[in-house]
């Protein structure tokens, strides 16, 4: 059989090309079907700061954040902010455990009660190779949804602090002390999550000899804060 094929090299090349195309197609199909599980939280609330943000976390811990928050209380809405980061294994596991408890946001999770104060339009999305579900709510009586909402809002607060600190370090160093003081207060009130996501800018501040000692000390305390 092989000798017969060798006598027809053009036919053999054609068959090899067809086989290669088939294998490439199978590989591409398999890759396309392997969608890493991800949970996304979106928030929109005109008048808030930021009034829009979205956080997406994959099961392996890779995460992204985008928002339109202000860089200072006096500034207009800032340019769109995008950052890639990694959440801890503990946080990733908790996010997906809570998503599972809500049946991956299938069905209605909003309370549906009239007269409740508007605290912003929130959307939770779950996506993997088989599911693509989402739910929109203002307030949810489901405890797992409340826990997810709290975590993502705290994470947004942490990332916005990191964004402002990076800006102040480059363009307004005199604002760093007050910003770090506010950040310490938020930490003491359990208002932050995943401080490691902003550790790089805190380290830069802590080791910058051009900054005041009190500023560097605040950054060092935040870096040394126990994980919550």
User: Is the pLDDT at 3 greater than 50, yes or no?
Assistant: no
Specify the pLDDT at position 71: 83
Q: Of residues 76 and 176, which shows the higher confidence score?
A: 176
Q: pLDDT higher for 23 or 80?
A: 80
pLDDT of residue 158: 98
Per-residue pLDDT at 101 exceeds 80: yes
Asked whether residue 16 is domain-assigned, the answer is: no
What CA–CA distance (Å, rounded) separates 56 from 42? 9
Q: What are phi and psi of 223, to 5 degrees?
A: -65, -35
Q: Is residue 20 part of a domain?
A: no
Phi-psi domain of 103 (left: phi exceeds 0; alpha: psi -120 through 50; beta: other): left
In a domain, 6, yes or no: no
- List the domain range (segments joined by +) for residue 200: 38-224
Query: Does residue 119 lie in a domain region?
Result: yes
Percent of the chain residues topping a pLDDT of 70: 82
Degrees, nearest 5: CA angle 127-106-119: 95
What one-character-per-residue DSSP string does the chain give?
Answer: -HHHHHT-HHHHHHHHHHHHHHHHHHHHHHHHH-PPPEEEEEEE-TTSSSSEEEEEEETTSEEEEEE---SSTTS-SPPPEEEEEE--HHHHHHHHHHHHHTTTT-S--S---TTPPP--EEEEEEE-SS-EEEEEES----HHHHHHHHHHHHHHHHHHHHHHHHHHHHH-GGGHHHHHHHHHHHHHTT----GGGGHHHHHHHHT-TTS-HHHHHHHHHHHHSPP-
Is 80 exceeded by the pLDDT of residue 221? yes
pTM, entire model? 0.84
Residue 226's pLDDT band, with cuts at 50, 70 and 90, is confident
Q: Is residue 224 scored above 80 in pLDDT?
A: yes
Output the pLDDT for position 2: 45
What whole-number percentage of the chain has pLDDT above 90? 75
- Domain annotation covers residue 53: yes
The answer to the question of residue 84 being in a domain is yes
pLDDT of residue 179: 97
pLDDT at residue 21, as a whole number? 52
- Does 14 fall in a domain? no
Per the structure, the count of domains in the chain is 1
pLDDT of residue 20: 53
């Amino acid at each position: 059989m092989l000798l017969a094929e060798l006598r027809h090299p053009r036919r053999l090349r054609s068959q090899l090309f067809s086989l290669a195309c088939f294998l490439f197609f199978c590989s591409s199909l398999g890759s396309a079907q392997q969608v890493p599980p991800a949970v996304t939280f979106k928030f929109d609330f005109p008048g808030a700061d930021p009034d829009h943000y979205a956080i997406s976390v994959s099961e392996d811990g890779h995460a992204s954040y985008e928002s339109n928050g202000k860089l200072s209380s006096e500034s207009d809405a800032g340019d769109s902010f995008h950052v890639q980061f990694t959440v801890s294994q503990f946080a990733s596991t908790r996010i997906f455990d809570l998503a599972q408890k809500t049946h991956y946001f299938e069905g209605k999770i909003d309370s549906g009660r009239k007269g409740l104060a508007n605290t912003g339009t929130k959307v939770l999305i779950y996506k993997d190779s088989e599911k693509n579900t989402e739910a929109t709510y203002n307030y949810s009586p489901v405890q797992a949804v409340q826990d997810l909402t709290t975590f993502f809002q705290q994470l947004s607060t942490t990332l916005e602090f990191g964004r402002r600190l990076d800006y102040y370090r480059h363009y307004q160093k005199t604002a760093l002390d007050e910003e770090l003081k506010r950040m310490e207060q938020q930490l003491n009130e359990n208002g932050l999550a995943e401080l490691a996501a902003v550790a790089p800018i805190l380290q830069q501040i802590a080791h910058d000899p051009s900054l005041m000692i009190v500023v560097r000390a605040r950054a060092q305390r935040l870096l040394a804060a126990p994980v919550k």
